[in-house]
Each structure stands twice: as structure tokens, then as C-alpha cells.
A and B are shown apart, each in its own frame.
Chain A
Amino acid sequence: MIDRTAALSVANTAIYTDSGADLPASLRADNVRVCPLTINFGQESFKDGVDITPEEFYARLSTTSVMPTTAQPSSAELADLYREALAEREYIVALHLSERVSGTAEAARAAAREMGADRISVIYTGQIACGLSLLISRVQEMLEAGTTLAGIEAQVDHFRANCLTLFTLESLEFLQRGGRIGRAQYMAGSLLKVRPILEVADGEVSSVGKVRGAHKVIPALAAALAESTPADTPLRVAIGHAQRPEAVGRVAQMVRETRPQASIEYTFELGPTIGTHGGPGTVGLSAVSLA
């Protein structure tokens, strides 16, 4: 546990996250590190972003009959990675995938405890993918300006209460098979194709509603965005997609029309970790007001 009043900066603090953040390249600064989750296709294992790219992952997904699963890093692996980072910097602030959908944060806490370090803080985020990326970009900004652990904790709490993450899937199959379907369970099993509109609430997947027909997805996302974000304060937005680059423009346009004050900070491809649980066609956005 880091002294909560110690001065933290990019020079002395590393941010550690994992591949569930799908951190865009522009956010990969020298002090921002990503721990890969493991993607298993049957007996074959790959480290997300290390020995499998999103393209390779989705290509394999479209040809294989074996469905992938994800595995969290062990606390020993995390301890090794943390040790490396601590060789270069004084502190680590670890911001991993939501503790409600992944055991990574728990393993990270175990690793930090094992190392007995007063140089590592693992903060539960409750965020997934775009939401986690936005959080990390915000924390990095704070480090650039100089901050404290207490300041970062307050920001994580702010995100927990104010960061909206909305997404849609082309099929509930992946989410259901991976067991991360949370409160959206009841939607599975429809004969007619239904597009779920989902959100990350309280760190897990929850249902906002459903529509039939791809043409109704964007209006439904717009309605949910309008309902859950302030109309008059600046918003930071990130947009992610799995194999649907053409959807990004439509979502971005919807965001600009619904919340003209929003700035779209990042658009990126969702990688194998998130792709395993959402499947191709997952499209989502996160929006947070920092006011």
C-alpha cells in the first residue's frame, strides 16, 4: 500500500492494467503497462496481445469449432511483472478489469500482498474495456500533472458512479457461454433474433433493453446515452468494436448528435479478451463526465 499522500507522477509511478482494457496504442506510454490475459482454444494457449493479435484471434474464431475461453494471470505471473516495473519506478497503481467479471484484480491483490510492498496499490475499478481505458487515460493525466493515491482513488470512485458503458452484441451466445451474462440472462433463448442493449453496471453486465433489427440499435444506444449522461457538461467518450469498423462511424455520429458537447477520445478494436466474451459484432461505448 502506497502512502496516500506521497507525490505520484509519471516519473515515479507505473500504471498496470490488463488486456481487458483494450488500451489503444496512443495510451501506451512508457509507464503504462498491460498484463495479458490468456486465451485458450482447447489445448492451445495464447497471451492476448503478445502471441495473438485481434486479427489472428477473430480469424481463428471464424474457422474453429473450439470456442475460446479466457484465463486470468496467476498472482505469481503478476508479481513477476510488478517486480520488473518496480525496477524502473517507485510505485505501481494497478487498475485491472472489473473484479465482478474477472479474477485478475483479486490475483493482483494477492501478488501485491505477497510482495509485501508498500509500493503497489491495486484499486478495484468496476470497469471493462472502453470504461477501463478512459479511466486509465484520466489517471495518466493526473500523474502527468502530479497527484496522490488518494486523488486516484477518488477518481476511480467518480468513474464507478458516473462512467456509462453501453454495448450491443450480435448474439448472446458468447456472453452466455463465458458465464458473464449477469442480469441479462433472461434474454437468451429467443427464436427471433434479438439485439440486446447492455450496460456495465456495478462492474457487471446488465440489460438496458432489446431491439429487433440492426437499424434500431443506434437509436436505442442514443436513447440510453441521453438518459444516463448529463446534457450540459463535457463528456469524454471511447468507442470500441469487434470486427465492425464500419459501426464506429455510426456510433460516433450518434454520440455527436445526442451529446454535441462530447469529445470522442478513442476508437479502437476490442481484442481477444473482450472478444471471447462478446463475440464478433460487439460494439460499445463508454462516456464519462469529469465535472
Chain B
Amino acid sequence: MTTKDARALDPVAAALTAAHRALAARAAEINDLNVFPVADGDTGTNMLITLSAAAGAAQSGGVGERADHIARATLVAARGNSGMILSQLVRGAAEALAEVDRLDGAAARTAFRRAADAAYTAVREPVEGTMLTVARRMAEAAERTDRKAALTEVLAAALGGGWHAVEETTDLLPVLAQAQVVDSGGLGLAVIVDGIAAHLEGREIAVPKDTAQLSSSANDHPPSRFRYCTTFVLDGEDLDLAALEGRLVPLGDSLLVMGDARQAKVHIHTDQPSRAVGEAEALARVDGLNVDDMREQEAERSARIARRLGVVSAEGATAVMMVETEQLGRIAAGLGARPVLDIAELQKVIAEAAPASTVVVAYGDHAEQVGAIVDEHGSSLIHAPSLPAALACLVALDGPGGRDLRVAEMTELAEDVAAASVPAEVDQPEAALKDAVRTLLADGIGLVTVLIGEGVEAGANEVEDWVRSVAPDLEVEAHRAGLTRHAFQIGAE
């Protein structure tokens, strides 16, 4: 079924589709806010995957067992803590709505209450300052509306209450205060309800953007105690969820076991995913196993935020390199650098770059001029002794640690490259090249790279053969580089 026009769907399907659309627009921001319970930066994605299943089930399901159909589909798809809790909110609301004849204000009030209650009941150890708090405040605000309030009025009230609760989460949960963020799942829930309200009122979504603002403290959070976020589905006849919980509790934390005697979904943070699956398989059939390495996810989120904020602790760095020709530009770009062809372009690119994560690689005649621009901007400069050295050092652009470590490694690499050149006016390029290569041969050299000038007729393969004839044991690589003042620039490392 197409979701192009949400209004053509039945009201529940249309509302969920609108909610999904609203959440999709903010999922990336919500990912970056995620610090609790683990800063694995996937709340937005997890909620989106979960909500997408709810919207899909609402569109495809028959009339009879519809609430059950939606609840099951949502639970099976649920990912992460936030998705698991969202699945219970969806279940509570869907069950409440299945019992009413009219979707009016009173129905919405009941739905918010049942949603919050279902979520609180399903979580073993509810924590305040999370999406649970937001769900409860939404229910409370909805219940404060006039008995005859219209559907949109109840939704507006709930959204107002939820909205306020989102802002309060920072004070309620110390981890959030430390990172100076609101709760990601709570914001996600507000965005979902806003999406539904906006759909019914025919307005734009309104949850303000600045709630998702991040400061450099966003990366201040304790690392995850356990490594793997593990989720799976259990199918059976007579599942004993309490027994299952008992088996899993010793294996980790953030344990959520949700569902009923026929089907359950398990979420646990653990160092022993296989054992967790084994414990569950001892009771019933396990399906849909998903194991995410949260350490990796934490590192990715942290790098993402640092890059965005231009914080020095960012993984890796961005390199800008001024080159003389387009061919050199392509070579530099292949190694991950942003090539620029003249000073004006350099100034423009640098003005838009975050100083703290930017490295400018300079060589040759322009190095001083480039250096002055870089000084003013506050980014790092690597003054490579030669063009081959400047290219060679780009290999260390990606790697662990922040810009300063990258700069240190790149500088070291650049200094390790011995270079020679042959001027463009040379009569016998082959002989001149061989002579130049001979001057570079020394112990520890393993690779010779030749950049070929515009005026040289020989192709790259032929040039490589020339070099091999004087350095038979070395790796040799030659590329046409369009150099105008040199027949060859040679690097040996």
C-alpha cells in the first residue's frame, strides 16, 4: 500500500504514517543526543525502525484483531531500549483505541493513559527523566483537559505536557545533565506526538529544532558497562517470561522482556550474547537475533559529534592540499584530501572548515603563503619538504586519535620521504630519471613513486620499467601528473 497520501488511510494508519514521517525528519539529531542508558547513538534509528513496523502493520492489518496485529508487529521489530518502550506505548494506545467507537478527545485521553501505563508496567526498573516520564506527563496533561475537549485539543495538551517534560529530563537524570542534553527517547516521543497532532491539524511539525542542540559536553558520559546490545524474538506455546527473565538477569543490564505467552521480545546489554541466546533457546525458539557492538557505536557517535562541533578530540582529520594540476588533485583526492588549485580557492575552502579538525598540507613555492592563511584560521599546517612527501603523508589522514595525533603521524611520514626531481627542460628524460633515482636508493627504501610531467612522452608503464632497471627490488609506481616545470618528481620511502 502506498503511503503517499496519509489522509487516504484509515485514521490510525494515517496518524502512524504521519508520526513516522515526522520522526524520520529528526532521527539523525535524536541519534546524536543519545547518552542514556548507553551513548550508542542509535535512539532515533531504533525508534524509526520500530515505528515503521507499527505504521506498516496499521496499513496492512484486517479489522478484527487489529490492535493485536499492530502490537505484535511493533514488538517483533523493536530495536534498542527506546524501541522496546515505544512498542509498549504503541500497544497500550492501540488496545485503548480498539475499544472505542469514535476517535475523539476522550479516546485520546484513554490512549495516552493506557500507553504510559503499558510502558511503565513492561519495564523492570523504570527510570525517570526518560521517555517514560515524557509518556506519563503526556497522559497527565491529556487528563487535565476539559471532558468535552476535542481530539486536537487533547493532543495539543498532551504535546504541551510532553514537551515540557522533555526539557525537564536534563535535570531529572544526572547523565543527561552532565552531557547537557535532553533525553533522546523523550524527544523522539514528543516528535512522534507532534507528527500526529500536526497531521490532524493540518499544520507543519512544530517541535523546535534547538532542543536537539549539542555542546562539547555531549561526549561526556560514562562508557557502556556491557559491550553488546542484543535483541531477539522468542516464539513458543507457553512462554514463561518470568523464568526467562530470571535466566537473563545475571548476564547483563538494560534487560527488557516484553510480550506474552506466545511471543516475546528480549533486549539485553551483555558481554555474552551467545549465552543469552542459549539461555533463551533452552525455553523456546529464538529468531531475529541482532547483536550490536555498543563500544563501536559509542565511538562512531562521539566522532560524529566531534566532527560536527569541530572539537579537537575528533577521530581523524580533514585535509586540504593545494596542488598545481588537476591530475595531482585527483591523486590527492583518492587519498582523502580536498584538493584546491589556487590561493583563492584555498581561502574559500578554509573559511568553511572547522579549524580544530582541519589539516592543510603545503609544499614548494606556495608553502609560506599557505602557512600565513592557515595561521590566521587556526587549523594545522604540515609543511612537506616535497610534493611526493606531501602526497605520501596523506596515507595517515585516517586513523585513531584526534587531529594532533594525525598531524604528528603525517609529519613523520612526510619527513621519511626522500625526494628528487628532473626539470622539464631535460634532453634525455630516461637517463636523467635513472640518475635521480640512483641518488635516492638507500637502506630501508621499499617504494619509489614517480610523478610524470606534461612534456614527457613515455607512458607510466614505460617509466616504471626505467626505474625498475636501476632499482630491481623495489615497488615502483608512476602516474602522469601534468607537471609543467618538471619532467619528473620522484619520492622514495
Chain A interface residues (CB < 8 Å from chain B): 1, 3-4, 99, 113, 121, 123-124, 126, 149-150, 153-154, 156-157, 160-161, 186, 189-194, 201-203, 207, 209-216
Decide if A4 touches B331 in the complex (CB within 8 Å): no
Which residue on A lies nearest to B491, using beta carbons?
Answer: A212
30 sample A-B contacts, Cβ–Cβ < 8 Å, listed by A number: A1-B285, A3-B282, A4-B278, A4-B282, A123-B277, A124-B274, A124-B291, A150-B278, A153-B272, A153-B274, A153-B275, A157-B271, A157-B272, A157-B275, A160-B228, A160-B274, A161-B271, A186-B398, A191-B331, A191-B334, A191-B479, A192-B335, A194-B395, A209-B396, A209-B399, A210-B398, A212-B447, A213-B446, A215-B475, A216-B447
B302 to chain A, nearest CB (A): 16
Decide if A201 touches B334 in the complex (CB within 8 Å): no
Chain B interface residues (CB < 8 Å from chain A): 227-228, 271-275, 277-279, 281-282, 285, 289, 291-293, 296, 330-331, 334-336, 391-392, 395-396, 398-399, 446-447, 449, 475, 477, 479, 493
Decide if B278 touches A213 in the complex (CB within 8 Å): no
Residue in contact with B275 in the complex, picked from A3, A154, A210, CB distance below 8 Å? A154
Q: Which 4 A-B residue pairs are closest in the complex by CB-CB distance?
A: A215-B446, A213-B447, A190-B334, A202-B293
Decide if B278 touches A190 in the complex (CB within 8 Å): no
Decide if B271 touches A211 in the complex (CB within 8 Å): no
B473 to chain A, nearest CB (A): 10
A102 to chain B, nearest CB (A): 15
Decide if B395 touches A201 in the complex (CB within 8 Å): no
Q: Which residues of A contact B281 (CB under 8 A)?
A: 1, 121
Q: Which residues of B contact A207 (CB under 8 A)?
A: 398
Decide if A190 touches B335 in the complex (CB within 8 Å): yes
Which residue on A lies nearest to B448, using beta carbons?
Answer: A213
Q: Which residues of A contact B477 (CB under 8 A)?
A: 192-193
Decide if B282 touches A1 in the complex (CB within 8 Å): yes
Q: Which residues of A contact B275 (CB under 8 A)?
A: 150, 153-154, 157
A138 to chain B, nearest CB (A): 14
Q: Which residues of A contact B291 (CB under 8 A)?
A: 124, 126, 202-203
Q: Which residues of A contact B227 (CB under 8 A)?
A: 161
Decide if A189 touches B274 in the complex (CB within 8 Å): no
On whether A192 and B331 interact (CB within 8 A), knowing A113-B285, A201-B296, A207-B398, the answer reads yes
Q: How far is the CA of A4 from the CA of B334 in the complex (A)?
A: 52
Decide if A149 touches B278 in the complex (CB within 8 Å): yes
Which residue on A lies nearest to B394, using beta carbons?
Answer: A192
Decide if A213 touches B293 in the complex (CB within 8 Å): no
Decide if A157 touches B273 in the complex (CB within 8 Å): yes
Q: Which residues of A contact B278 (CB under 8 A)?
A: 4, 121, 123, 149-150, 153
Which residue on B lies nearest to A116, using beta carbons?
Answer: B285
Decide if B273 touches A160 in the complex (CB within 8 Å): yes
Q: Which residues of A contact B392 (CB under 8 A)?
A: 212
Which residue on A lies nearest to B479, using beta carbons?
Answer: A191
A168 to chain B, nearest CB (A): 14
Q: Which residues of A contact B282 (CB under 8 A)?
A: 1, 3-4
Q: Which residues of B contact A153 (CB under 8 A)?
A: 272, 274-275, 277-278
B306 to chain A, nearest CB (A): 18
Decide if B395 touches A211 in the complex (CB within 8 Å): yes
A220 to chain B, nearest CB (A): 10
Decide if A215 touches B447 in the complex (CB within 8 Å): yes
Q: How far is the CA of A153 from the CA of B289 in the complex (A)?
A: 15
Q: Which residues of B contact A126 (CB under 8 A)?
A: 291
Decide if B330 touches A191 in the complex (CB within 8 Å): yes
Decide if B493 touches A212 in the complex (CB within 8 Å): yes
Decide if A192 touches B293 in the complex (CB within 8 Å): no
Add 12 more A-B contacts to A1-B281, A153-B272, A160-B273 (CB < 8 A): A1-B282, A99-B289, A124-B273, A153-B277, A154-B275, A161-B271, A190-B334, A192-B477, A207-B398, A211-B395, A213-B447, A215-B447
